[in-house]
Every structure is written in structure tokens, then in C-alpha cells.
A and B are shown apart, each in its own frame.
Chain A
Amino acid sequence: MMLQYFERLASRLDAKIAKNPDIPNARRKFAREIAQLGTRLYSGQHRIAWCGVIAPFDMLAAMNITSCFVEFVGAMLASTGAVGTFLEESEHAGYAADTCGYHRSVLGAAMKGLMPLPDVMIATSSPCTGGLAAMENLARMFNKELFVLDVPASDTPESVRYLANQYMDMFRFISSRTGETIDEDKLREAIVKSNQARELMVEVYRLAQNVPSPASGQSLANFGIVMALFLGTDAGIEIAQAYRDEFESMVKTGQSGAPAEKIRLLWLQNRIQFKNPLIKMLEQEYQASIVIDELNDITWEAIDPADPFVGVAKRTITIPFNGEINWRLNHVRHLSTAYKIDGAVNPCHWGCRQGTGARGLIQAGLKEIGIPVVNLEVDCVDTRNFAEGQLRTRLEAFMEMLRTSPSAA
């Protein structure tokens, strides 16, 4: 089922890109690569790793491992509208509906045999406790040993060294389980490609800050978090290049991503992964555009290819979701200023302790710099709990408030 879905999706996108080969086709190239990743994961012809969200995917690419964080499957199932069956499967097995929907859906998929057996499993202790527990549960189901990257929540030389050493252990673990050798040249090459994609993404985000922004509510949805899967590969560079070219062209001609942009919004944490009318409603009825997602940013320095473990460890430790809430708060404040934000939308994903848990602190912190926040009670994966009417009403009230505020005038 999943393989056919991804193959069809890739083929359809290939055809669309071929139809207009002279335009950047950024979103299509991004979506096509997602489809190709899905195809590789489900084809049975590649060595695969199921991972935690902040695993070093560029390093894994250097070892010829097709790797992916498990939440990706939950998001894909939600986007296809098929997630309900898998959520019910896991809930019937005793996984509480109070836990994260991404993880419940993936566990349900594994129980129904929809998750291919991985060659290795690489869990990460950050960003969330629930994610680590889900990986342990999957490892139990697959009867696989788990490798855990224990990510400290402090940016100190000791923490960086500790994590860097774990990457070396991870390589040895993978090598011993798959027979893949550790080729230092390939690793260097992957890091160089990561850095190239990073430079382009810096440009993409800089261009998105423009008023009006070339970013529409959908163009960069899930971009930052999924691009991590393509770091270290040519595909990652190609996608980032396409976005850079597309946005550059739009900025030159003064073209806005969302029609007649009047209100600029920051979207906090994850998107709602299933089809819903909220983004379109914001754009069409209020000329409100999501010009930046919290997860769309480069928060790390270029990595020294000659010393990749330390650089990747530093990249991982300093993601704003790791550590104390001030890291995240400082980051969203920075984004709010850089993107000239009028307001922020916080979809409080039910079951997310690390993100949603802090919503009061985030709201208060943004209020200090004059950014109002609307909190939406939603499960970003579980369509069964989607209260469209309530969410629409809350967003409408928020938009009315922003429309009458001086900054949006």
C-alpha cells in the first residue's frame, strides 16, 4: 500500500515537473524527493534505519543507509486521510489516547505490518520523552536492538564531546549490524553537501523575510524538519537551490506568496498534517500569510568536514527545542523580529509535553515583545479530534484583533 502510494506520487510529480522544466518547481521537487524517500523505505531494496527526529541523517546517508524519523510515517498517514485506522489499532493495544498522535499512528502502522523491518534503529533522547519511548516500543515489536543517542540539554564542551563520541559509537554499531564500512571520504563528502544545502537554505529563509514574503502558507510547510532527511545528499542541494531560485525571482518582481499579504504570521512547532481549510481561510479571508514556521531555520554553523562529529554534535545540541525553554523563546522572538511578524499561531498538539507543555511560557514570552499568540487545541495527526468550527472561530477572532492592531494597519 505505502510503496504503491509513494511510487504513484513520485511518478505524478515527475510528470508535472517535466511539463514545466524551466521553472524552479521548488515545492514539487521537495514533494518528489519525499515520495522517493518513501519509495526507498518501502521497496525492500535498501538498507533502512528508523530514527528519532534529530538523528544525523547526513552521516547515515554517508553509510548508504536510507534513514527517516518515524514521525514521518505518522504525518504521511495523516496527509492521506488513512490515519484513523492506525490510531485505533494502537489504542486497542493499550497505547493511551493522551500520548502523541504521531507516535500512536506509527505504532499502529507497525502493528498492522505497515512499517518495514529496519536494518538498524537509531533513537534520540531529544526532542521528546515520548519519541524515545515510541522507539523503544518499535524496537520491541521488531525485536531489534536500539541504539540511543543521548542528547544533553546544555551547550558545553563536555556535552558536545559526549555526543560526538556517541556518533562514533553509532557508526561502529551500524557497521557491526549491516556490514557497511565507514568511509571517511564519503562522510566528508556528505558534510560538504550538508553545508552547501545549509548555505542555500540560509538564502531561502533570508528571502522569505521580505515584505511581501515569497513564502505562502503552504510553500514551506514541513520544510525545515523534512529537509534534515535530505542533508548530505545531492537531492538536498537541488531542493534548496530550487527554493532559492523561486523566491529570488519572486522577490525581484515583488510577487507575494500569499495574495495581497496584509498580516504576517509565525506558525509555532508542527503543522496540522491532514487536509484542513484553515491556511486557505487565513489567506483568502484575511490576507494573512504564514511567512515563517518555527521549525524553518538554520540554527547551526557550517560543519568542518575534517571534524564532522563535533560539528554535528553542536548542531544537534543547539536546536532550540533542546534544553531550557529560553532557547526556544529566544529563537521565536528572533524569528518574530526578523520576519516582521504580526501574530503567532500555536497548534497545541495534544500529547506533546515538550512543545505544547510550554505554551503558557511561550505565549508570555512573545507577549513581552508585543506578539500576540492564538493557541489552538488540536491533534496535528488525529483527524478524529479536529474541531474545525471551534478552530475557525478562534482564528477569526484572532484575525479581527490583528486587523485592528496598529502594527497590521
Chain B
Amino acid sequence: MMSQETTRWIGHACSYTPTPLIHASGFTPYRLLPMGNSPDRAGQLLHDNLCPHVKRILDRAMENDLPDLHGMVFMNCCDAMRRLSDAWRAARPTDRVALVNLPVLAAESAISFFADELTRLSETLSTWSGQSFNQADISASIAKFDEIADLLGELSNRAHTGTLEGGSSRLQDLFNRAATESVDRAVELLRTVAEEMELPAAAHNGVPVYLFGNVLPDPEAFALFQSCGVHIAGDSVCTGMRAFSRIGGNDSDDVFVRLARGLLDQPRCARTFDPSRPGKIAQDVLAEARACQAKGVIAYTMKFCDPYISRLPAIREVLREAGLPFLLLEGDCTMRSMGQQKTRIEAFTEMLR
């Protein structure tokens, strides 16, 4: 599945994970995606009402369906993820585990605090790796991850305009590989794909739809959309482009502040929001749907995911007022549950045509 002879993996499970920091410390970040066929055992430690994302990851951990991880970095992004870090320690008591505080807002004071947290994480990673690294190393890693972001951004645009061979299903496979392979290999792969000839823009005949939500890593799910006549013209999910937003900034900036700002400024999940504009996520969804000229909006959310399911009524209301049809798909990280939605997706597409 992957070369492990020279790679030391650090696992993570959240889009807010400071992957350049992990890379700069001599490790390779490995995103644990809620995929595979591990048996359902998470219920021994976590209640059934926790989101399937964290339970599937715990299933993988309990089944040891993982590369040989040197450690795990958890972001304290939501109740479920914090509980996953607790359960992980119980299920794998000898693993190295770090839990990083993640502010819920992007105020200057929050960025400054988060920068301190990242400094603390860098010290932990340095202890784990036994090697020191400096700001220049982190800047170099940021540059690599920003290149990945740029390449994926370009490929994402191609998928949205229908000019990427394989469409959004292939794009998701690229996201997954970029999240689980070594940085150099990911860059090489993405450059190769970016050099491919673009398809003519008229190659697809699906109905343009804007997709948003949280965890949807299975390329088969996107193939299913395609088979139902949906063309993903724009999207925002945390296993997609949101996990690869550019960090940006300048090399002259304090690198921890730069990382903190880069991660918080472009919210990677509904759990981070602007308190001066409550419900802004609804306006953002509408604006993005309009920007990609979508005829409808599909939300895909994990069952029991509070950050998303709590905000869906506001989003639904804003879309209704704007006259944009909306379809909510609730899932559990399995294709089985997606398959059950096929008829609904087809009916939605028919309505939009």
C-alpha cells in the first residue's frame, strides 16, 4: 500500500492539523480517513451518538489497520474529536499522542494563542523525532504544502469545469493520496496529473451542483453522484480542498503565527466561525453556489456532527429564500449509506434539469 522503509508517519484526523509542522519535524503526516473494512468495535469505548467519522477511525485503530505510526496528533476541534483522542489512548495506550487546542475563532488573540500551541507541538514533535528543526525548515515545508494546495486547486478547478479526466471521483482519489503519501511523492503525482491534457469543457452533461459538508473521502461517492447525473461544479468538504488551503504569508513572518493564521483565517470546518456575523456560513454557501452557477445544492454531513447539523436549518432557510433547491444527505462514512441515497439524488437531479 505504501512505502514505509524510510518514512516515519504521524497520524492525524482533522483538516486543521498543521501538516507542514509535522513534515518539518522529519515526519510524514498521514491523514486517517474513515475508510476500509475494519469491524465496528468503537462502540466499546464511544457512545453510538458520536459521529461515524471518529468511530470509523477508532475502528481502524483498534483493528490496527494503519501504517506503523510514530505518533498521533489530534486537534481539539470538536467534542467528538476530543473523545476520539481519549479513546485512542485507551485503545492504544503505548502510542504517542498529542492534543492541540484549536480556537473557535480567528481573532488576533486566538491566532497568537494558537501560535503558542503550535510552538508547543513543535517541541513535542522534536522530542518524538529526536531532531531539532527551525523556522526555516518550517517555512520550507509550508512552501511544499502550498505547492500541493496550488496543484490541487488547479485540478479542482478542472474537475469543476469538467476538464479533468476522471472528474471529481478521480480528484477525490488525488486528495486522498495527497493526504496519505509522502509530500514529495504527492507533489510528483500532482504535477504529472496537472501536465495531462485537459478535456474539452463540454465533455460532461451533468447538472451543475454545489456540494458542501464535512467528511466524504470515498471516490466511489463522487462516481455515484456522476452516475446520477450530478456534476460537482463547486465544493467545500473537509476531505477535499478545505484540507489543503494555502497557508500563505511571508517567510519574514514568525512561522508559528503564519501557520496559525493560515489555518484559522480560512475556516476548514463549520466549527470555526465569526461571532460578529452569526450564521455567516449560510451566506457563504449561497455565495459559493452562485459563484459556480450551480442549479442546486447538496449537503453531505456525518450523522451526529454538531458543527454541521446545527447549522443546516440556517443554510436551508437562506437557500430557500434564494430559490436554490437543496438536498441533504446524511451519512455514516460507508458507501452502503450513500447507495441508499441514490434514488433521492437521481430525483433531485431530475428536478433540476
Residues of A within 8 A of B (CB): 93-96, 98-99, 103, 123, 125, 128-130, 132-134, 136-137, 139-140, 144-148, 150, 152-154, 158-159, 162, 165-166, 169, 323-326, 348, 350-354, 356-361, 364
Cβ–Cβ contact B109 & A98, under 8 A: no
Closest to A364 in B: B90
CA distance A354 to B271 in the complex (A): 15
Would B311 and A158 count as touching, CB distance under 8 A?
no
Total contacts A to B, CB within 8 angstroms?
A: 141
Which residue of B43, B110, B310, B313 contacts A130 across the interface (Cβ within 8 Å)?
B310
A-B contact pairs, 17 of them (CB 8 A): A93-B313, A94-B313, A94-B316, A123-B275, A128-B306, A133-B310, A136-B273, A136-B275, A136-B278, A147-B275, A158-B116, A169-B109, A357-B80, A360-B43, A360-B47, A361-B45, A361-B90
> Most chain-A Cβ atoms within 10 A of its Cβ — which of B51, B271, B278, B311?
B278
Contact between A99 and B309 (Cβ–Cβ < 8 Å)?
yes
Question: How close is B259's CB to chain A, nearest CB, in angstroms?
Answer: 16
A356 touches B47 (CB 8 A): yes
Of chain A, the residue at the smallest CB distance from B312 is: A94
B306 touches A130 (CB 8 A): yes
Number of B residues near A (Cβ < 8 Å) is 45
- Contact, CB under 8 Å: A148 / B314: no
Contact yes or no, B49 A98, CB < 8 A: yes
**B46 within 8 A of partner (CB):** yes
Find the residue from A137, A165, A351, A357 having the highest chain B CB count within 10 A: A357
CB under 8 Å from chain A, chain B span 77-121: 78-80, 82-83, 85-87, 90, 99, 101, 103-105, 109-110, 113, 116-117
For the complex, give the distance between the alpha carbons of A353 and B51 in Å: 9
B77's nearest neighbour on chain A, judged by CB, is: A129
Nearest Cβ on chain A to B239's Cβ, whole angstroms: 19
Do the beta carbons of A98 and B313 come within 8 Å of each other? no
Shortest distance in angstroms between A109's beta carbon and chain B's nearest beta carbon? 15
Do the beta carbons of B50 and A357 come within 8 Å of each other? Answer: yes
Task: Report B-chain residues with C-beta under 8 Å of the C-beta of A132.
Answer: 104
What's the Cα separation between A22 and B203 when bound, in Å?
Answer: 87
Decide if B76 is an interface residue (CB 8 Å cutoff).
Answer: yes
B122 to chain A, nearest CB (A): 14
Are A324 and B86 also in contact (CB < 8 A) when A134-B310, A150-B110 are? yes
Residues of A within 8 A of B275 (CB): 123, 136, 139, 145-148
Contacts of A359 in B (CB 8 A): 47
Closest A-chain residue to B104, C-beta based?
A125
Within 8 A of A (CB), among B291-350: 303-304, 306-307, 309-314, 316
Q: Are B271 and A129 in contact (CB under 8 A)?
A: yes
B252 contacts A by Cβ under 8 Å: no
Q: How far is the CB of B145 from chain A (nearest CB, A)?
A: 26
Cβ distance A12 to chain B, nearest Cβ, rounded Å: 37
Given contacts A94-B316, A324-B82, A348-B47, contact A140 B309 (CB under 8 A): no
**Which residues does B use to contact A, with CB under 8 Å?**
43-47, 49-51, 76, 78-80, 82-83, 85-87, 90, 99, 101, 103-105, 109-110, 113, 116-117, 271, 273, 275-276, 278-279, 303-304, 306-307, 309-314, 316
A356 touches B311 (CB 8 A): no
- Whole-angstrom distance from the CB of B109 to the nearest CB of chain A? 6
User: With a CB–CB cut-off of 8 A, which chain A residues contact B273?
Assistant: 136
Known: A99-B306, A150-B103, A358-B86. A140 touches B314 (CB 8 A): yes
Beyond A153-B101, A158-B113, A354-B79, whether A137 also contacts B303 by CB under 8 A is: no
CB distance from A170 to the nearest CB of B (A): 12
Given contacts A140-B278, A325-B86, A360-B43, contact A98 B309 (CB under 8 A): yes
Which residues of the other chain, A, contact B46 by a CB distance below 8 angstroms? 357-358, 360-361
Bound Cα distance from A323 to B278, whole angstroms = 26
User: Given the known A-B contacts A136-B311, A152-B101, A358-B86, are A144 and B113 also in contact in the complex, defined by CB atoms under 8 Å?
Assistant: no
Across the interface, B314 reaches (CB within 8 A) one of A137, A326, A354, A356, namely A137
* Nearest residue, chain B, Cβ from A354: B79
The smallest C-beta distance from A385 to any residue of chain B, in angstroms, reads: 13
Determine if B311 and A357 form an interchain contact, defined as CB atoms under 8 angstroms apart: no
> Which residues from A are CB-within-8-Å of B116?
158
Chain B residues within an 8 Å CB radius of A123: 275
A357 touching B278 in the complex, CB below 8 Å, given contacts A132-B104, A137-B311, A148-B104: no
Write the nearest CB–CB distance from A322 to chain B, whole angstroms. 10
CB pair A358 B99 closer than 8 Å: no
Q: How far is the CB of A239 from chain B (nearest CB, A)?
A: 31
Residue contact B310 to A99, C-beta cutoff 8 Å: yes
In the bound assembly, the distance between CA atoms of A338 and B282 in angstroms comes to: 49
Interface centre among A103, A125, A358 (most CB of B within 10 A): A358
